[in-house]
A and B are shown apart, each in its own frame.
Chain A
């Protein structure tokens, strides 16, 4: 049987499958979150508490840059994987050169606009006179290297889909390792401060980018970038942008939520509160990305078995993934509840910041021993193709419930209220997802009974 039809998904042991599919995703996700954490740790230790706040202010801007990257990258990689499946190399090459050119164009455009309006943008994001210089120092090198960042991420995902997932992973690991080595050199040896951290980041990405370019220009590969036929094809560009538009908008929306959070922190808690949020964000992110890795591993298994109407296996993989996710988020809960100071002290020695961040950490993880369920369930709806429900569940946690809490709770509780809105929206979203899952399980049962020839009360199921 051809490799494209993954029959094993319907027969192999679910535990083994989940391990096989989730491992690479977990490694990739952990690598990128470690990378962000290491960056923050060096900056916090080397440049002081205000630098941490300055750095946290740049998160949404970096996020926005990444969003523009997905605008080009997701569509390009999707089209290329469809084309390679049909061995349509000529058009795949065209898409590749399109991705290259679009990344350069979008990268340059973003750089120019962001550099020109850097001060007003950072002010809008919540910068004060004290934090603005740090945020500027960090963003300027990052923005100048923006084209390299976009090309590196965009081409790396194409290398991944064109039959070299390992090479793509090595490139990621290379960037992380280099950055970890270069960060202390630039901050402590060259004494370049937060700017040094940004330069280290760009240099690491540049080295990986050169390596990726060598792979992608290799003439022995069916798919490679070549001078002939190099150009922008508007038909293809429009299509890849259309595919990337939805993820782009979702990313932009999540950027604005972060901007709102930062501004609320600034208003009710001052600059340091933003820094505290930045620290907690980094630590929690490390755990949540592992859950995301499990989610990615679950997707093909749940999707296939749902398509094959093997509902027992669908629920088996769901329950197993939930178990794994709960272990991970509970670990985060234990760290946050019982050892918040230890975790937070990695980033700073400043007593005030440690105090703020520890308190915030405790509140953020308040219901983490159960939140793994919500994350897995909303992803589960996506993997069985119920996109609308999945999107609603994702939005419910991060937008629909969060925004009102963010707006209202601080009025009574001050900065604590901003922190409280996170577990509060988590809890509300959890309730909604449990209700939706229960109703889905009922429809599974009805369909199974119908298939077994038992009488069913309602004729129409699973709609």
Chain B
């Protein structure tokens, strides 16, 4: 059976990654999974979607870990090591499983959520990372989310930090590190023009005989 064409798009917050994904999807008639992935995950796992929304792209272990090793006063040894609680790691595991199921079923574009790593063994996978200058990202967020410049800047920086922590935690690689992706594009260098970014990706895919 021929494997499916899969594009994964990593993106800095406000770099226009989702827009690029949507345009590419139109172009090739593929489905985009961004937040949609969570719906799918919820459907397949039987868990409530809110459960995943709350934890979306978060790796925070919080104080929960503290309890694993807590022993009662009367207790001595309880070094079981792992837990069976529905924690972030478990949800990541479920999400990975669902992602692999999707990749086995159809051509698709997956935005964020460590897709390039989870699906790294797919033969027809292309991973893209889209970055942009801080200024143009802040501008895009100001327009899209109706925020003041200061708030938008804060939002962007926070968002990047969270995404990096999530990616680095689960993949043991560095988020946005060029060695991790097939193609890295600075969209602001292309005048923040999504069409140009899409063209560039299509050109690359042609060169790689993917389309």
Residue of B whose beta carbon sits closest to that of A250: B70
Contact B86 A254 (CB under 8 A): no
Residue of B whose beta carbon sits closest to that of A152: B79
28 A-B residue pairs with CB within 8 Å: A2-B100, A2-B101, A4-B93, A4-B94, A4-B97, A10-B46, A28-B80, A63-B76, A66-B76, A74-B65, A81-B82, A83-B172, A85-B93, A86-B170, A157-B81, A161-B81, A246-B65, A285-B76, A288-B72, A288-B74, A289-B75, A289-B78, A304-B46, A308-B51, A383-B86, A387-B64, A391-B66, A402-B73
- B40 CB → nearest A CB, Å: 12
Does residue B157 face the partner (Cβ distance < 8 Å to A)? no
Contact A394 B76 (CB under 8 A): no
Given A86-B96, A88-B172; A251-B84 close (CB under 8 Å): no
Contact flags A144-187 to B (C-beta < 8 A → 1, else 0): 00000000011001101100000000000000000000000000
Does residue B3 face the partner (Cβ distance < 8 Å to A)? no
Contact B75 A288 (CB under 8 A): yes
Given A5-B94, A66-B77, A387-B62; A254-B101 close (CB under 8 Å): no
* B71-126 at interface with A (beta carbon < 8 Å): 71-87, 89, 92-94, 96-98, 100-101, 117-118, 121
Chain B positions within 8 Å of A128 at CB level: none
- B180 CB → nearest A CB, Å: 13
- B141 CB → nearest A CB, Å: 27
Contact B67 A74 (CB under 8 A): no
Interface residues contributed by chain B, number (CB under 8 Å): 48
Q: Identify which of B48, B62, B71, B170 contacts A82 (C-beta below 8 A).
A: B170
Does residue A358 face the partner (Cβ distance < 8 Å to B)? no
Does residue A216 face the partner (Cβ distance < 8 Å to B)? no
Does residue B26 face the partner (Cβ distance < 8 Å to A)? no
Selected interface stretch from A295-303, A316-324, A338-346, A438-446:
A295-303
Chain B positions within 8 Å of A261 at CB level: 73
Given A32-B77, A88-B172, A299-B84; A250-B89 close (CB under 8 Å): no
Does residue A247 face the partner (Cβ distance < 8 Å to B)? yes
Chain B positions within 8 Å of A385 at CB level: 64, 85-87
Q: Identify which of B45, B73, B82 contacts A398 (C-beta below 8 A).
A: B73
* A316-355 at interface with B (beta carbon < 8 Å): none
Residue of B whose beta carbon sits closest to that of A283: B74
Residue of B whose beta carbon sits closest to that of A158: B81
A382 to B64: give the CA distance in the assembly, Å: 7
- B170 CB → nearest A CB, Å: 7
Contact B63 A246 (CB under 8 A): yes
Given A303-B84, A398-B72, 15 extra CB contacts under 8 A = A2-B100, A4-B93, A5-B94, A36-B76, A74-B82, A85-B89, A86-B117, A86-B170, A246-B65, A285-B75, A300-B84, A308-B51, A387-B63, A390-B64, A398-B73
Chain B positions within 8 Å of A15 at CB level: none
Residue of A whose beta carbon sits closest to that of B87: A385
Does residue A231 face the partner (Cβ distance < 8 Å to B)? no
Does residue B210 face the partner (Cβ distance < 8 Å to A)? no
Contact A258 B73 (CB under 8 A): yes
Q: Classify chain A: how many residues form its interface, as a range.
A: 35 or more
Chain B positions within 8 Å of A391 at CB level: 63, 66-67
- A213 CB → nearest B CB, Å: 17
Contact A66 B73 (CB under 8 A): no
Does residue B44 face the partner (Cβ distance < 8 Å to A)? yes
* Chain B residues at the A interface, C-beta cutoff of 8 Å: 44-48, 51, 61-87, 89, 92-94, 96-98, 100-101, 117-118, 121, 169-170, 172
> In terms of DSSP, what is the predominant structure of the interface of chain B?
loop
Contact B47 A394 (CB under 8 A): no
Contact B94 A300 (CB under 8 A): no
Chain B positions within 8 Å of A257 at CB level: 73
Does residue A78 face the partner (Cβ distance < 8 Å to B)? yes
A254 to B77: give the CA distance in the assembly, Å: 12
Q: Across chains A and B, which 9 residue pairs bring their CB atoms closest together, nearest first?
A: A247-B69, A157-B81, A303-B86, A77-B81, A246-B66, A387-B64, A307-B47, A250-B70, A307-B51
Does residue A292 face the partner (Cβ distance < 8 Å to B)? yes
Contact A81 B89 (CB under 8 A): yes
Given A66-B79, A296-B84; A285-B67 close (CB under 8 Å): no
Residue of B whose beta carbon sits closest to that of A399: B73
- A260 CB → nearest B CB, Å: 10
A143 to B179: give the CA distance in the assembly, Å: 46
Contact A73 B48 (CB under 8 A): no
Residue of A whose beta carbon sits closest to that of B68: A247
Contact A390 B67 (CB under 8 A): yes
Residue of A whose beta carbon sits closest to that of B46: A10
